[in-house]
Structure 1
């Protein structure tokens, strides 16, 4: 007899909507494609011991007297006085292997902290870079999944929603999809997946990054399955899921 499917996959289109979700029995996947979640996935895969997400620049500065790499981004740019921000090119193996990074970003790290506050079963980090490894792992779990789009200052973002739709596509045969936002994200991804990079040229975040002359970051973050590592939040640190 086939087991009745009770797991659901939902999409939260903005952190502002997170209070509407009961996360205690759900796995949350935090999504900030441009660029925090992509850089975190890349850094953990490249051997960073851990990445500590913090809310504010001042929180990050508290670690300055210790042997940490400090990374701070606001409005797409590196905060003055910090080693680097959230470009994936800062998270290469030669820069991060064996190191612990303290990271604050405009959107992504706040979403991670909110998920922890809501006592999610687990908090994972998702990106196009690890989408297959992430989706396969989720399919093997017995918990519902909430895909949390970090957005831009609590507003809807195309790139995060497209990724959520791509994950829904991979999970929809194994999970119940009865969430309007999940259906919308999936439909949007279906519309865009023929050429995601071209579709996202209209996104506001792409325009912001292009003005900073970091189009290469956009191209990098839209690559599929570059890594097979999944960052997971353990206590206050993101580490590689064992």
Structure 2
């Protein structure tokens, strides 16, 4: 499996970007966790956009019997006039089941737009980690004979690298190796890292396990408190979201893009 990793959405200039077969977008805190939670709660779809005005326009243009819920944040805080913020705990079956959602966030939806040039796009978080690995392994089995590759895109925060997204990128790389390799030695296995960012993410995740003692959802949530994204949420009084975002393998679905512009995701 060939894997290219972007530690931020602007990791490569436009002229340097090659179309990927699969893009996996990561925004652990909190957009991809929210999207996975909402679809698991029965939401019909999640359409993403970059600007608040676009979200309001989508709601205005919708049919009277199918008005979407507006969801998202700016600077960690809910947006005035929106139905939901960006906390996973807000997305219960009672609130979103059988509803279409429009989502715009500071970093996550921008990453989705930056990485849109691909055949398939999936959203990953710790809450659906094993489901993402299953999907990647199946894709790899069907595409071993061509030059297709996977691009992992970390949303980051305001253009800067964030540890929580890097850790998940590393976990995805490590778990793909575990599923596909005969040898515990990473560089003896079938994973080909197309840039050094993937190696950095893998090292960060391995360090997290061996030195930080992360071996459960509880210890991961504690580790997320130390990241810049975690500190931002704590300062904004959303420390409770770190528990939801640090929960591992809670859901079995992968948000899957079924429309490119605007990007729309359904349960996959």
CA distance in 2, matches of 1:28, 1:202: 27
Report deviation, 1:178.
4.4
Q: Is structure 2 residue 80 aligned with structure 1 residue 53?
A: no
Match of 1:106 in 2: 106
Report deviation, 1:15.
0.7
TM-score by length of 1: 0.91
CA distance in 1, matches of 2:12, 2:265: 21
Larger-Rg structure: 2
Match of 1:187 in 2: 203
Q: 2:120 aligns with which of 116, 119, 122?
A: 122
- DSSP-derived class of the 1:239 partner: strand
CA distance in 1, matches of 2:222, 2:252: 25
**Which segments of 5 or more consecutive residues in structure 1 lack a partner in the other structure?**
1-6
CA contact (8 A) 1:60 1:72 kept: no
Match of 2:267 in 1: 240
Q: 1:148 aligns with which of 140, 153, 161?
A: 153
CA distance in 2, matches of 1:112, 1:222: 21
- DSSP-derived class of the 1:167 partner: helix
Report deviation, 1:42.
0.9
CA contact (8 A) 2:4 2:198 kept: yes
TM-score by length of 2: 0.83
In structure 2, relative to structure 1, the CA distance for the partners of 1:23 and 1:69 (3 Å cut) is farther
Farther off after superposition, 32-41 or 200-209: 200-209
Report deviation, 1:220.
0.8
What does 1:186-205 correspond to in 2, within 5 Å? 186-193=202-209, 194-195=213-214, 196-205=220-229
Aligned length: 233
**Which segments of 5 or more consecutive residues in structure 2 lack a partner in the other structure?**
182-189, 215-219
Q: CA RMSD in A?
A: 1.5
Match of 1:19 in 2: 13
Q: Is structure 2 residue 29 aligned with structure 1 residue 34?
A: yes
CA distance in 1, matches of 2:20, 2:80: 40
